[in-house]
Structure 1
Amino acid sequence: MGLFGKKKKEEEERKKQLEQAQKEAEEAKKALEAKLAQEAKEKQLKAEAEKKAKELEEQKKKEKAQEELAEARRKAIEERRAKLESEKKAAIIATHVVKEDETLSHIALKYYKHATPPYWQLLLEHNTELLQGNERNVRAGMELEIPELPEELKD
């Protein structure tokens, strides 16, 4: 084996080493790309999970606010009902059995000495369930409650 034979062998050996190094570099590059892709996917999943957690938290806040609003409305309604009931029960001065051809104006004139709308409307409002909110529903034989006049209607 001569000088050229050694050099050729060394060159072939270097080529093999270079090819091996290129293969290893390519494999390392693929492994690095796979790792980067995995990290990007994990980062994306984490971001999506955080977004969903925030959305869930916002939804819970909205639901809580709606529940609080509903509870406040229920309390307000209960308070209004209780107030109306207490006013209705405490303010009755008489009961009146409606006679034939008698109107709320006639009844207001009898008890309040006035037949104008504020007086007969007071009778209507107080007896709204019985009269179904309409003064035309007054019928003979009905028993109406006569409430005490509020301060603004007293003479």
Structure 2
Amino acid sequence: MQSRFTVDIVYTTSINELVKTLYAKHDYDIGYAGFNVLDESPFVRMYSSFYSESTSNVLGYKNPEMDALLEQLQTAPTDEDQRKVLENIQTLVNETVPMAVVGAGKYFIPWSRDAHGITPSADGIMLFGNAWLNSDGAP
């Protein structure tokens, strides 16, 4: 037996209208966007995207259980404790499906062999406060 359904496409007139529809009103059934969680600091992005009262919660996801898990993640004293909380968060995401993961990415930030002292931050921003150049090619 075939199932049929009707698709209604609602076009927006500007990027402002699109952002308002998706991220402020949460008035959509399907949307596509990027959501990155950094291994170095998972709490920061997860809080902003999953905490019910976060002003950056563009998903519109509200779940008191997730809020409690995020609070546990923020206060987890060790890496092992963080991993345990992250496992529980993953289980809740699997159960409630607030998003569909379609791929993973990595940062690739090249620079010259002559550049030293550049520190990558957890957000992919390069910090040049201690940067220096060595033009003779030796490290």
Range class of TM-score, shorter chain: under 0.3
TM-score (structure 2 length as normaliser): 0.25
Higher RCO structure, 1 or 2 (CA under 8 Å, sep 6+): 1
TM-score (structure 1 length as normaliser): 0.23
Rg: which structure is higher?
A: 1
